[in-house]
Structure 1
Amino acid sequence: MALQPSLRPLIIAGPADAPHTLDIFLDYACPFSAKIALVMDKVLLPALGPGGKYDGKVKLIFRPQVQPWHTSSIFLIEAGLAAARISPSLFWRFSLLLFAQHHEFTNMPCAELTPTQIRAKIAVLASQVLPTENVAAFSALLEPKADLRGSNEVTEEVKYTLKFSRQNSIHVSPTVLWDGLVASEVSSSWGEKEWDTFFQAKVLV
């Protein structure tokens, strides 16, 4: 599946030229996304990474997915993309922290917060993962520009991720694609056994 060069950190496991591609669309504010993200970290990354059973055969791409009924989703995805640019090697670690704290960014806790306040709240989390010298640069990427649109330095990358989702008719998270086709059988409740059975049936090289 396509991925513009600036978003290469979204390949969180496997080589970029792996013959198979597993795309997982997740919303940082979604509890089901948070559930599968933990499985990705504990099951998929070891299986697809160096020395894993499927090392070199599958690349795993985390696709940020905005679900507008989660009102803070856009700010969290901006933050994830900013971290990917500032500290690519820490992108997934920061993403896991966002998933772990997703309950702080659901609709009610953020109901009376401004976008600036939500971004500041996210920056506090970023300071727990990113090098101290990178936190200011991270926050700067999220600062609205002095124009009527209020875009920031990662707006174009956010647009890319949204356009990619819409083009491929992705509506909810989690949604999983295997080699470009929706794998509707995948569940956020899957563990190591289910994923291994899936790979055994799907990995052909």
Structure 2
Amino acid sequence: MALQPSLQSALVIAGKYDAPHTLDIFLDYVCPFSAKLALAIDGVLKPLFAPGGKYAGKVKVIFRNQVQPWHGSSTFVHEAGLAVARVAPEQFWTFSLALFANQREYYDIPVSTLTPTQIREKLAELVSESIGEDKAAPFKDLLTLKSTPNGGVDVTDDLKYTIKFSRQNGIHVSPTVLWDGLIANEISSSWGEKEWTEFLEKKVAV
């Protein structure tokens, strides 16, 4: 499926953009099941799609930000991911894994007494810890309210893009996985190497 050009270098987290097969994986940073699937992406899929892997050049994985507004911090954590995609696209997945590892800090109760500014400051600290102190300042600048009173931040348009993409494709929950544009309901966050290997053996045709 298509991906906004400015996000291609960050959100294609495994394989190459011109690979013929596509796994679109819709994840929410504060969803525990998304965190489980993220570990499978990192440990199972990325090696298979990397140079020298069994499916190198055949399959790509696109990270799809799935904002779930029933979690109060979901918008803020996805803004953070998209800001890192701008500041350090090559480290987007590294930051995403760090955010998944620390997701409990952004659950509903832990953030219930924090202001939006405080949540963004907390995320900037995670940026500094996970991908480098030099990335924190430009990251914070992208998430600073500085236009009209209701104009959002510098990655609001990217956030709108990801939300509109999910809506028009009927994606409601995370994780949801598409194979070549169609929802693959059989894929589970609990899948390990065995299940993914069997799935790919059936699906990869080129």
Shift of 1:15: 1.0
Q: Residue 12 of structure 2 aligns with which residue?
A: 11
Name the residue aligned to 1:55. 56
1:69 is matched with which residue?
Answer: 70
Once the two structures are superposed, residues 42-90 of structure 1 have per-residue CA deviations (whole angstroms, 9 ceiling, x without a partner) of 0010111111111100010010100111110110000001101111111
Shift of 1:150: 4.3
Q: Deviations over 1:123-153 (max 9, x none)?
A: 1100012332221001100011241214000
Distance 2:151 2:139 in 1: 17
Q: What is the CA deviation profile of residues 78-125 of structure 1, one whole-angstrom value per residue up to 9, with x for unaligned ones?
A: 000110111111100000000001100000000111100000111110
In structure 2, the residue matched to 1:140 is 141
State the partner residue of 1:198.
199
State the TM-score, normalizing by the size of structure 2.
0.98
Q: Counterparts in 2 of 1:1-205, with a 5 A limit?
A: 1-8=1-8, 9-205=10-206
Give CA-to-partner distance per residue, 1:7-28, whole Å, 9 cap, x none.
Answer: 1110011111100000000000
Whole-Å Cα distance in 1 between the matches of residues 86 and 174 of structure 2?
Answer: 23
Cα contact 2:27–2:174 (8 A) shared by 1: yes
The ranges of structure 1 where at least 4 consecutive aligned residues each deviate by more than 4 angstroms after the TM superposition are none
Distance 2:132 2:69 in 1: 31
- Partner Cα distance (1:134, 1:98) in 2: 15
**Whole-Å Cα distance in 2 between the matches of residues 36 and 108 of structure 1?**
23
Alignment gaps of 5+ in structure 1: none
SS of the counterpart of 1:127? helix
Distance 1:52 1:87 in 2: 25
Give the whole-Å Cα distance in 2 for the aligned partners of 1:7 and 1:141.
15
**Residue ranges of structure 2 left out of the alignment (5+ in a row):** none
Given that 2:128 and 2:134 are in contact with CA atoms closer than 8 Å, whether structure 1 keeps it comes out as no
- CA offsets, 1:151-182, max 9 Å, x none? 00000000000000000000000000000000
Residues in 1 aligned to 2:139 and 2:74: alpha-carbon distance in whole angstroms: 18
Distance 1:52 1:175 in 2: 25
**How far apart are the structure 1 equivalents of 2:52 and 2:203?**
19
SS of residue in 2 equivalent to 1:62: strand
RMSD: 0.8
Once residues 130 and 141 of structure 1 are traced to their aligned partners in structure 2, the CA distance between those partners, rounded to angstroms, is 16
